[in-house]
């Protein structure tokens, strides 16, 4: 950001509002380029994990197709015998012939949202292995590692700042680039008539063309990424809650009177749920319309509480209905149907699943791979353009000079005022964007003041 005194190549022609957008786009790209690059590369890896997991963990995930199938209760007993130290929390029956059943345990030493998955052959009740599964998606170790690499760089909660910073600025860079692309098209024909297109001009053109193709995808990734970010995500959740857009919670009708009512209302300690009831609970849920192939049967969180049977199919059409079942009578005590979700809750569900590459299966994965490749190309071309604008006599690793200061004075005052108000509002709702923007302005101001004292500057302006 410091001013260079050596001869430089001619800066791009920019005046008025375009110069302001050019300077903001330039510095925003320089700031978030590395974060977007890492997020794109790790996202591409994550998008390919379903096939990789199917191959790497085939011994646990697959079993010979048998003519008969033992009861879920017997499969659970086999898993408990192989893993006596864990607390049984849920069962995921084999969704298709040739798949294994997952019996899920909570145990000491596992991280948040992690469970021990014991894989059982549904035809023979033979245990085929165990792995740590993460979250509602049931991600296995490979996908969990790539997921955490994408979200936190394996640095835990502090690492989430990197991905939130990328998501916070990506839409700004994308929209700013669109404005510059539209404005540049008006002058490009005249520029070509004057002289042949330079190497840097070709880089600019390619950068703009690729940016146009990935624009909608970049905006989508930015919006969906912010929904589960550390700070902006809280504001998004609060906004959805206040507007009635939140995902409906499962409410159990008459939970107290159903809890352990075998004694007809007598005061006693409810008995813990019996794993032998798992088949009956699944049958009750199926009768209530839980018809997805992939379901999870959750044991009561406390003695006498209801069982929960939830669809976990995140493809298209989305099947995430959930019912609460009385463990004694099999009565349905409550339900949440995806068809009854508010529209914005449905869009949030679809957006997150598409971001993860599971909504439309392999076409979704291919789209994410192409989008990730486009973002990587954008970042590389952006830094190449910066490099190509370096001084003509420069040697070594020296980038080109930044866009000159003082562009805000050339822009219409109404535009500048509108941008300030908009930036303040967005900075409040997306805190990491606001903090980083303010930090950039302060640092840029200080560097400008220092450069002004040390040498004769090209411009007396020290601000954007």
194 contacts: CB under 8 Å, gap ≥ 6: none
- pLDDT value of position 372: 94
Contacts of residue 37, defined as CB under 8 A and 6 or more positions apart, other chains included, come to 375, 376, 379, 380
What the block records as the tokens of 49 is 């994990």
pTM equals 0.82
- Compute φ and ψ for 227, nearest 5 degrees: -65, -30
Partners of 240 in beta bridges: none
pLDDT tens readout for residues 421-431: 998 999 999 99
pLDDT at residue 62 in the model: 95
pLDDT tens per residue across span 309-364? 999 999 999 999 999 999 999 999 999 999 999 999 999 999 999 999 999 999 99
Write a three-state SS string for 229-244: CCCHHHHHHHHHHHCC
CA distance 441 to 29: 15
pLDDT tens-digit profile of 185-224? Answer: 666 655 554 445 678 778 888 888 898 899 999 999 999 9
DSSP secondary structure string for all residues of 382-450: HHHHHHHTS-TT--SS-PPPPPPS-HHHHS-HHHHHHHHHHHHHHHHHSHHHHHHHHHHHHHHHHHHHH
Block residue for tokens 């170790």: 141
10-residue stretch averages of pLDDT, the chain, 464 residues long: 40 61 82 89 91 94 91 96 91 96 94 94 96 93 93 87 90 89 68 61 86 92 90 91 91 58 46 84 96 95 91 93 94 95 94 94 94 93 83 58 68 83 92 90 78 62 52
Question: 141 is written with which tokens?
Answer: 């170790």
Residue 103, beta-bridge partner list: 91, 118
The Cα-based distances of 324 to 42, 68, 162, 249, 281 in angstroms read 38, 29, 39, 11, 9
In three-state form (DSSP H/G/I as H, E/B as E, the rest C), the secondary structure along 138-176 is CECHHHHHHHHHHHHCCCCHHHHHHHHHHHHHHHHHHHH
- Cβ-contact 132, 115 below 8 angstroms: yes
Cα→Cα distances 281→263, 272, 274, Å: 21, 15, 11
The answer to whether 382 and 29 are in contact (CB under 8 A) is yes
Angle at which helix 431-454 crosses helix 232-242, to 10 degrees, equals 140
List, in order, residues 6 or more apart from 138 with CB less than 8 Å away: 92, 102, 117, 312
**Three-class secondary structure of residue 114 per DSSP:** strand
In whole angstroms, give the CA distance from residue 319 to residue 384: 46
């Amino acid at each position: 950001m410091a001013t260079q005194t050596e001869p430089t190549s001619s800066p791009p022609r920019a005046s008025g509002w375009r110069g302001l957008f050019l300077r903001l786009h330039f510095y925003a790209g320089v700031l978030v380029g590395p974060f977007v690059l890492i997020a794109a590369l790790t996202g591409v890896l994550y998008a390919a994990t379903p096939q990789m997991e199917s191959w790497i963990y085939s011994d646990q995930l697959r079993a010979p197709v048998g003519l008969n199938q033992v009861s879920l209760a017997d499969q659970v007993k086999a898993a408990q015998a192989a893993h006596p130290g864990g607390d049984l929390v849920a069962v995921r029956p084999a969704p298709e012939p040739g798949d294994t059943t997952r019996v899920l345990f909570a145990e000491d030493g596992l991280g948040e949202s992690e469970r021990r998955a014991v894989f059982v052959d549904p035809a023979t009740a033979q245990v085929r292995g165990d792995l740590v599964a993460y979250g509602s998606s049931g991600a296995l170790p490979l996908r969990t590692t790539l997921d955490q690499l994408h979200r936190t760089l394996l640095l835990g909660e502090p690492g989430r700042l990197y991905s939130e910073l990328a998501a916070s600025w990506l839409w700004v860079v994308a929209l700013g680039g669109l404005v510059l692309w539209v404005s540049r098209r008006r002058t490009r024909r005249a520029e070509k008539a004057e002289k042949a297109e330079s190497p840097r001009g070709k880089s600019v053109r390619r950068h703009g063309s690729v940016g146009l193709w990935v624009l909608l995808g970049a905006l989508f990734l930015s919006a969906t990424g912010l929904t589960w970010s550390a700070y902006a995500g809280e504001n998004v959740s609060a906004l959805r809650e206040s507007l009635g857009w939140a995902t409906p919670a499962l409410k159990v009708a008459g939970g107290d009177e159903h809890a352990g009512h075998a004694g007809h209302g007598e005061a006693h300690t409810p008995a813990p749920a019996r794993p032998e009831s798992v088949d009956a609970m699944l049958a009750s849920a199926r009768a209530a319309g839980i018809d997805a192939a992939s379901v999870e049967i959750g044991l009561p969180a406390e003695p006498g509480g209801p069982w929960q049977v939830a669809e976990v199919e995140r493809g298209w059409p989305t099947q995430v209905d959930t019912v609460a079942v009385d463990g004694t009578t099999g009565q349905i005590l409550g339900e949440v149907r995806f068809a009854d979700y508010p529209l914005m809750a449905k869009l949030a569900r679809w957006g997150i699943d598409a971001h993860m590459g599971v909504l439309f299966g392999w076409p979704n994965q291919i789209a994410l791979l192409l989008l990730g490749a486009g973002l990587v190309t954008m970042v590389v071309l952006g830094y190449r353009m910066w490099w190509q604008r370096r001084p003509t006599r420069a040697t070594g690793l020296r980038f080109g000079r930044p866009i000159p200061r003082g562009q805000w004075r050339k822009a219409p005052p109404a535009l500048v005022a509108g941008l300030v108000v908009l930036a303040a509002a967005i900075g409040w709702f997306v805190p990491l964007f606001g903090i980083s923007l303010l930090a950039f302005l302060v640092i840029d101001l200080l560097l400008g003041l220092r450069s002004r004292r040390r040498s004769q500057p090209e411009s007396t302006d020290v601000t954007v």
